[in-house]
Amino acid sequence: MFLNLSLHKKLYAASGELLLDIDFSMSKGEIICVFGKSGAGKTTILRMLAGLSTPDNGNITVDKEVWYNSTQKINLPAKKRSTGFVFQNYALFPNMTVRQNLEFACKNKKRVDELLQFTGLVNLQGRLPDTLSGGQQQRVALARALVTQPKLLLLDEPLSALDMEMRQDLQNLILKINKELNISMIIVSHDLAEIFKLAQRVLVIDEGKLINSGEPSKVFAHESFSAKFQFIGEVLEINKADTIYIIVVLIGNNLIKGVITKEESETFFVGEKVIVGSKAFNPIIQKMDTRKLSKRIKNIWFPKSS
């Protein structure tokens, strides 16, 4: 395995004392997303990997190199760990241009030139961060995290503050980085559509414990969901129309309407994330739940485009 991690740390959450007890491994080039409610310990896992926070005990081994081992009293400082860290708030130096932000992390001008080209920032390299859009700033943050050629890229809700178009653009860049540079990534995300698009595996964290892990479609679906095409949608409306109910689901920028019964309407709620798929030309929509509660599968119809 590329990474092996077993860590324990006492945390203090809003609900009181919390014991973070986490154990997992990952393969080279894998993308893992960490999912869970706020205060579950997700960001602390990234910080302990990066050397920004010290566990109470445990061990971290990356590419056969021991980064932390409480028994052997090994704790490499952050600067000696081959990680790149991308924060939600970009964390760019406001008085430095795009190029200077990258050069601050790496003095190799050839490498900086390569990353500017790879991330599409060549035309923006002379600009200051506050003259860039949020998506452009996060692209700079990604480039800066990559400029030192890290073995492990850590991303803490990097796209949550961006609009849908920017988010999709940067998701594609993250997949490009993973594929072409073969960099292993651990991403904290609350966005289920993002997790389905990016992750080969998702870790569900609750109150400091790993309660589920696996492929996103198997973790979040209530049972095996074998539809050939799968999309993540959000329930926008549930309206009564005569004796039936209409459910409206948003997938990307597209709306899908489905007919459900009164009893079925009571199992969905506005804002809920659902899986929409198609099997044998029969579209279906399925509830999602991290704890795999009750299952509901509904037939839906796709309105003809006008």
- The yes-or-no answer to whether 3-219 and 222-299 have a common fold is no
What is the C-alpha R_g of the chain? 22
* Nearest-angstrom CA–CA distance, 187 and 231: 20
Query: What is residue 129's DSSP assignment?
Result: G
Q: What is the pLDDT of residue 95?
A: 97
Query: Could you give the CA distance from residue 216 to residue 80 in angstroms, rounded to a whole number?
Result: 33
Q: What share of the chain is helix, strand, coil (3-state, %, to 5)?
A: 25, 35, 35
- The CATH architecture annotation of domain 3-219 reads 3-Layer(aba) Sandwich (3.40)
Q: 228 Cβ partners below 8 Å, 6+ apart?
A: 277, 278, 279
Q: What's the CATH number of domain 222-299, 3.40.50.620, 3.40.50.300, 1.10.3720.10, 2.40.50.100? A: 2.40.50.100
Helix, coil or strand: residue 59:
strand
What is the pTM assigned to this prediction? 0.78
Domain boundaries, the chain: 3-219, 222-299
Closest-CA residue to 300 (of 268, 253, 290, 292): 268
Find out whether 103 and 165 touch, Cβ atoms under 8 Å.
no
State the pLDDT at residue 279.
57
C-alpha closest to that of 159 among 195, 183, 126, 125: 195
**pLDDT-flagged residues of the chain (< 70):** 221-230, 277-306
